[in-house]
A = this chain, B = another copy of it.
Amino acid sequence: MDIREVFARNLRAARQAKGLSQEELAHRADIDRTYISSLERSVYNASIDVVERLATVLDIEACELLKRPPKEMPTELDD
């Protein structure tokens, strides 16, 4: 799984958790609306300052937006 997909999912999840629209998030982070849309569709490799700005608006650590989701485990079969 590509890091930009991870970022895309985390971004969308965090945004929705905050109850913000792409428009509103874009406005608050001073980023273009269509670019937010692109980021959530894994179109670009965002730079760390964009990650930082978005994290600030979303009231979380930049760090959180790059965290890979924990692996779903087949309940009894571990390798």
Contacts and interface: CB of A to CB of B under 8 A. Distances in A.
Interface of A: 2-4, 7, 45-52, 61-64, 66-67
A35 to B, nearest CB: 14
The count of identical subunits is 2
A4 B48 CA distance: 7
Contacts of A67: 61, 63
A63 B51 CA distance: 11
A48 B66 contact: yes
Contacts of A61: 66-67
Contacts of A4: 48-49
Contacts of A50: 45
A7 B48 contact: yes
